Amino acid sequence: MALRILIPKGRIYDNVADLFRDAGFPIRLSDRTYRPDLGADWLDAKVMKPQNVGQLLELGSHDAGFTGIDWIKETGADVELLLDLGFDRVSIVAAIPSGTARETLVSKKIVAATEYVTLAENYLKQNNYNYKIVRTYGATEVFPPDDADMIVDNTASGQTLRDNGLVVIDTLLESSTWFAASKEALRSAEKREQIERLAMLFRAVLDGRDKVMLEMNVAESRYRELVGGLPAMRSPTVAPLYNRGGENGYAVKIAVKKCEVPDLIPRLKKAGASDIVEYALRKVVL
């Protein structure tokens, strides 16, 4: 039985496609089709807008998929959140034209433009605004000041808002892309195993992207000094070096976070490491 996967259309697609490729399932998608080939007979994929993914998973018409937590919250979809993939991070914000006093908006009936009708309505009610919501279908930032007093929209850097003369007054939600599953699918032992297999591979890819392998040699006389201060996921991998007439020594391997490397390599060199090699990891399964 094939696992029915929803892959998001739009800006999220490229990161999800890269994740599948690095997990061993390169996506092949022809023009004008919404049915990609993942190269595995147990995976049946369909491309849909991320706005629809949560609700379709809740309905059980698909087994697992990818969407932003913003759209899960917006649609109120009852799904199982499995893995925060950490990419496509955005903030859902309320923004108004620069120079507008927030107090003046509370004193009158305002028009709020947004794609996030549910999130916007909850925010406006909680903050005692008198409001009318206009649903947008993209390009929300162009509505003020002529057609809206406020917008509720997603932003990564805030640059588009600033370019359109808008300032953020509140952040409603921080969002990123998640791997989620249908609760109905998880009740099937076969489907659950397939979903968990994918989640394990995705987690291994993400962990691999965050780490590198450092390999080095160290003389026996400096070995304890060096390994005593080594970071590693578990313990360093150590093997004796072939002695060609010089001092005995060891080859040492450690997997470390990329951010640790600039500080770590000089420390290793000072502690007696030589022939230090850094290389990328494809997957890390803990």
CATH of the domain at 71: 3.40.190.10
SS3 assignment, position 133: strand
Domain boundary among the residues 157, 188, 208 is at: 208
Are residues 276 and 146 both part of a single domain? Answer: no
238 in Cβ contact with 226 (< 8 Å): no
77 in Cβ contact with 54 (< 8 Å): yes
The reported pLDDT for the residue numbered 106 is 87
Are residues 11 and 59 both part of a single domain? Answer: yes
- Is residue 234's pLDDT more than 70? no
What is the pLDDT averaged over residues 136-162?
93
What is the pLDDT averaged over residues 209-213?
92
* Bridge partner list, 167: 96
- Percent pLDDT > 90 in the chain is 74
- Is residue 257's pLDDT more than 70? yes
Are residues 189 and 204 both part of a single domain? Answer: yes
DSSP 56-122: HHHHTSSSEEEEEHHHHHHHT---EEEEE---S-EEEEEEEETT--HHHHHTSEEEEEES-HHHHHH
- Please state the pTM of the whole predicted model: 0.86
Please tell me the total count of domains within the chain: 3
152 in Cβ contact with 92 (< 8 Å): yes
| Other residues' Cβ atoms within 10 Å of the Cβ of residue 134 | 15
Are residues 241 and 262 both part of a single domain? Answer: yes
Residue 155 lies in a domain: yes
Q: Mean pLDDT across the chain, nearest whole number?
A: 92
* Of the candidates 183, 155, 147, 190, the residue with the CA atom closest to the CA atom of residue 171: 155
Its domain, for residue 223, covers: 211-280
Residue 248 lies in a domain: yes
How do residues 49-93 score in pLDDT, each as one tens digit? 999 999 999 999 999 999 999 999 999 999 999 999 999 999 999
- Is residue 41's pLDDT more than 60? yes
Are residues 11 and 149 both part of a single domain? Answer: no
Are residues 95 and 171 both part of a single domain? Answer: yes
The reported pLDDT for the residue numbered 233 is 58
Are residues 42 and 171 both part of a single domain? Answer: no
Are residues 55 and 116 both part of a single domain? Answer: no
- Is residue 14's pLDDT more than 70? yes
- Is residue 231's pLDDT more than 80? no
